[in-house]
Structure 1
Amino acid sequence: MTHPLPTIGAALLIDDLETLAPWLIDGQRDVEIQDFISPKRLDGDWQVQVERARTLLDGHTGRLGMHGPFMGFSIATPDPAIREAVKLRLRRGLDIAVALGATQMVVHSPYTTWSYNNLDKDAGARTRMIEYGHATMGDAVKQAEDHGITLVIENIEDKDPTDRLHLANSFNSDAVAVSIDTGHAHYAHGTTNAPPVDYFVTAAGDRLAHIHVQDADGYADRHWRPGMGTINWQAVFAAIAALPQSPHLVLELADNSQLRAGADWLITQGLAR
């Protein structure tokens, strides 16, 4: 069976829309707004930025998401005082997502390399991690459900690609799914002996709703355009093609001036349109 090529989109800042919006609108490509990662943006006059984004994306009928807050905290924090601050950050992020008209918000996995080596050492540690996740994210999940938004949990240090899948499934909600960052998975593969990137895609299966596409060297979080690193893109896109759904697919690069070049490379390779 021949699958249609996936459409490659972009994760970017609102400033980048000044030049890239026509390309995104012409192809009705997936868009992810990343300005609201910044605490300054979260605490500032975010409504003005939202209106600017909506104006620049006028005519865009493709899928729209945003990257949620993550700096300095875990979505499964065990500290009740810190938890209240995290709840506020997630609430603000979702308020912004609603105003944008986004249908996804990316959050970061709480699982680390340390987790992989230690969660099975202490009885009940895995269960407690999920309990902390519910205590921290429960209100955000309800808010997301109310507004038709999906919280997608992105791998960061994750060595076991199923850990955050178990966390997502534990909410028993369509408002929680998983995300893959290809460069993060490749870092984990090269540095911590995690499975290769395509295994992360296959493990996520029908729960995979979002992918950050970036190339890397297996050592650091490079955010290079595809073709600059050592990820096996043929294997990754074959795994994506085998999925029963089409996840949001966005380039997330360190240098957004390379977004079009990154997309063109994937297109030339026959992996995307």
Structure 2
Amino acid sequence: MYRYAVSVNASLIRLPEWRKALSESRFHRIELSCGQYLEPQETKELVELVRNADELAGVETASVHLPFCPFEKFPYPAGEKEREAVAEYLAEFIRLTAPLAAKNYTFHTSIEPVRPEERGMLLEQTRPVIASLVRAAAAAGASLNVELLPRTCIGNCVEELQALTDGMPEAAGICFDVNHLTGDGGLKRVPEFIDRLRGRLRSFHLSDYDGVDEAHWLPGLGLLDWPSVMAAIRRVPGNPLLIFETAVLKPCSGRPREITPKQHFRNLESAAFYLENCGELDRRIATAAIP
């Protein structure tokens, strides 16, 4: 059976008001999202904060999102030495964050744009990076989950995710971001693609979108067929982690604007209620509690 978690950016977890709001919410698991490059000392300080903050005493770090930007720090189309340096940095990042005891690491494999003629070469070059990180994650008792990415990124379809993970050890998984299928009718094919990948699926990033580009809206505010998506998720074996990865914005208010931490977590609680009941409830009911 799956478990819910919420993505919290490393910059926000440092703020006492965000930690307090999280501790008062119904969520007891997080993905610590470290998308921005961190120096080793910064990583150590972040780990100490997450481990020792009073407000986080009852919160499990179930997943850690590995850094992937700024893109110039992670130049996958570059030479072999640069790719090896990226793999070494990220493997060390996994070792430094191992005290958090996360069972999942999310790996963003690609910068963009990627030209069609580069795709085969980049897929081949990315596999050794993944293999190195899988070893580091396995040593930490975790799964390294290659993320389904949007647009022209490497890993933007079922076939490429399979090419990146086939033949890899059991510790190589996939993180399926349901708002990242941005081409070839991907919006309607999300349940199908979940079924095709379910043997490797360890985690999901949950949010809604318009089918054109990633939006990270709250579930129920876009065009995803959530009853079908949730039915497919329930067919995934094991105990996948369902991570809400939504924008910290007030929805349906004309011009988007920031909301309070407490409102953000309340919105996600409403979203979880909607996902658990979307086969029976009209989405207007599910979103009525969103401030």
- TM > 0.5: yes
1: CA distance between counterparts of 2:247 and 2:58? 27
The equivalent position to 2:20 in structure 1, one of 18, 43, 46, is 18
The residue number in structure 2 matching 1:140 is 133
Shift of 1:77: 4.3
- C-alpha spacing 1:55/1:139, structure 2 compared with 1 (3 Å): same
* More helix by percentage: 1
Shift of 1:65: 0.8
2: CA distance between counterparts of 1:269 and 1:81? 45
The equivalent position to 2:144 in structure 1, one of 151, 163, 166, is 151
The residue number in structure 1 matching 2:63 is 65
Which aligned pairs between 1:213-224 and structure 2 lie closer than 5 A? 213-224=206-217
The equivalent position to 1:262 in structure 2, one of 254, 265, 268, is 268
What letter corresponds to residue 59 of structure 1 in structure 2? G
What are structure 2's unaligned runs of at least 5 residues?
250-260, 279-291
2: CA distance between counterparts of 1:237 and 1:100? 29
What are structure 1's unaligned runs of at least 5 residues?
120-124
SS at match of 1:184: coil
SS at match of 1:132: helix
- C-alpha spacing 1:235/1:129, structure 2 compared with 1 (3 Å): same
Give CA deviations for 1:61-119 in whole Å, capped at 9, x if unaligned: x561110011216696462132133123312321233032212110124498957x557
TM-score, normalization by structure 1 = 0.79
2: CA distance between counterparts of 1:118 and 1:223? 30
The residue number in structure 2 matching 1:50 is 47
Which aligned pairs between 1:123-272 and structure 2 lie closer than 5 A? 126=120, 128-157=121-150, 158-171=155-168, 173-185=169-181, 188-189=182-183, 192-194=184-186, 196-255=189-248, 257=261, 258-268=264-274, 270-271=276-277
Give CA deviations for 1:39-76 in whole Å, capped at 9, x if unaligned: 1x34552222211112243233x561110011216696
SS at match of 1:225: coil
SS at match of 1:94: helix
Q: Mean alpha-carbon deviation: is it higher for 252-261 or for 101-110?
A: 252-261
- C-alpha spacing 1:74/1:50, structure 2 compared with 1 (3 Å): closer
Q: How many residues matched?
A: 250
1: CA distance between counterparts of 2:157 and 2:200? 16
SS at match of 1:170: coil
The residue number in structure 2 matching 1:31 is 30
2: CA distance between counterparts of 1:53 and 1:92? 18
2: CA distance between counterparts of 1:58 and 1:30? 11
2: CA distance between counterparts of 1:269 and 1:59? 24
- C-alpha spacing 1:11/1:80, structure 2 compared with 1 (3 Å): same
Is the 2:211–2:223 contact (alpha carbons within 8 Å) kept by the matching residues of 1? yes
What letter corresponds to residue 193 of structure 1 in structure 2? G
SS at match of 1:8: strand
- C-alpha spacing 1:38/1:44, structure 2 compared with 1 (3 Å): farther
- C-alpha spacing 1:237/1:75, structure 2 compared with 1 (3 Å): farther
Which aligned pairs between 1:83-94 and structure 2 lie closer than 5 A? 83-94=83-94
TM-score, normalization by structure 2 = 0.74
What letter corresponds to residue 21 of structure 1 in structure 2? S
The residue number in structure 2 matching 1:80 is 80
- C-alpha spacing 1:174/1:42, structure 2 compared with 1 (3 Å): farther
1: CA distance between counterparts of 2:110 and 2:229? 24
Q: Percent identity?
A: 21
Shift of 1:228: 1.4
Shift of 1:211: 0.3
- C-alpha spacing 1:84/1:220, structure 2 compared with 1 (3 Å): same
Is the 1:153–1:179 contact (alpha carbons within 8 Å) kept by the matching residues of 2? yes
